Amino acid sequence: MALSQNQEKVNQKATEILVKVEQLKIHFPIFQGFIIQKQIAAIKAVDNVSFNIHKGETLGLVGESGCGKSTTGRAILQLQEITGGKVYFQDQDLTQLSPAEMRDRRLQMQMIFQDPYTSLNPRLTVGQIISEPLKVHNLTSQHNPTERVSELLELVGLNPQFAQRYPHEFSGGQRQRIAIARALVVNPDFIVCDEPIAALDVSIQAQIVNLLQDLQQELNLTYLFIAHDLSVVRHISDRIAVMYLGKIVEMSDRNALYKNPLHPYTQALLSAIPLPDPDREKSRSRLILQGDVPSPLNPPSGCNFQTRCPYAFEACQIEPELRQVSENHFVACHLIDRESSDSP
């Protein structure tokens, strides 16, 4: 019975698309000149990114710092002006909405940030912080703020009496719980979790991930979960998209990605995770990346990973497209062709 219910949930997850990002581009112009400013270049923070997020699932978005993850997350919520492409939420094109229409829509879409120390206003009590979105959206007649704050504090595992206290009285993990309560106060459907555990002690990280997972089940939430390393997203994600220099280089079901990473960049991110078994750790082959991510102001031509890729060959002068290699596995790498043409 439980199994068939689970199966039903999986099937449901696979069908209904909540968020659809199509050919998203975000280029930040660089100007020169004092009196007459002239655009001389553009930082291609996000360049032709497309993906879907299904209702009830978690899509992990992973890549080193500066790859365009936060910019993508902000763009979905229309907190970031976009240069090109479309973002659909429940089939509605958000890029065409007026600011007032978008304000209403934003009730369904919230964001949790990396740093719970700077994301909470130190002058407000926890109760004021959590209930603020109700006031901004004129929802205080529908939800009694005091009751709603108690309910939410309990939901995120905090004592409802904490409503009277100030953020500085709390630890990082507790603050992140408060930030989660604030995001939930308007009953959203979708949350962009932008590295929500990166600033927390390792011992607290799993608790926050577990909380987010429990809340997802209980409230039927859909997440875009951003992280800079693949160990963090492993447990929470249904599918994972790996981003490098503004582009998605690999996207797949979680298990396929960890068992059979196809892009050398994904392989390198996996190599960075230590294995718990010391014998396997010693004997495994690792792909260690040299250097930093190149500047998105002047990215390498062709495949933009070629400057750090140990397998780069002639074909990499041409930009690879993100191509489907199996049912739910997409990769943008010319090695796929080479491997299949090499095989007998």
For Mg ion, the binding residues (CB under 5 A) are: 70
Tell me how many degrees the CA angle 280-286-292 measures, rounded to the nearest 5. Answer: 140
Residue tagged 């659909």 (tokens): 88
The footprint of ligand ADP on this chain (CB under 6 A) covers a number of residues equal to 12
The Cα 10–Cα 68 span in angstroms is 29
Residue 129 or 193: the one with the smaller Cβ distance to ligand ADP is 193
224 - beta bridge partners? 59, 192
Q: Which does 45 bind (CB under 5 to 8 A by kind): Mg ion, ligand ADP, none?
A: ligand ADP
Note whether 70 binds ligand ADP by CB under 6 A: yes
The Cα 328–Cα 120 span in angstroms is 39
Q: Which does 67 bind (CB under 5 to 8 A by kind): ligand ADP, Mg ion, none?
A: ligand ADP
Note whether 296 binds ligand ADP by CB under 6 A: yes
Note whether 182 binds ligand ADP by CB under 6 A: no
Closest C-alpha to 68, from 194, 183, 212, 190: 194
Element (H, E) at 46: strand 38-54
Residue 49 or 316: the one with the smaller Cβ distance to ligand ADP is 49
Among 66, 127, 133, 320, binds ligand ADP (CB under 6 A): 66
Q: Which does 320 bind (CB under 5 to 8 A by kind): Mg ion, ligand ADP, none?
A: none
Note whether 116 binds ligand ADP by CB under 6 A: no
The Cα 280–Cα 291 span in angstroms is 26
Helix axes 126-136, 145-155, angle to 10 degrees: 120
Q: Say if CB 178 and CB 167 are below 8 A apart.
A: yes
Q: Which does 311 bind (CB under 5 to 8 A by kind): ligand ADP, Mg ion, none?
A: none
Q: How far is the CB of 194 from Mg ion (least distance, A)?
A: 6
Q: How far is the CB of 74 from ligand ADP (least distance, A)?
A: 8
Among 58, 71, 131, 266, binds ligand ADP (CB under 6 A): 71
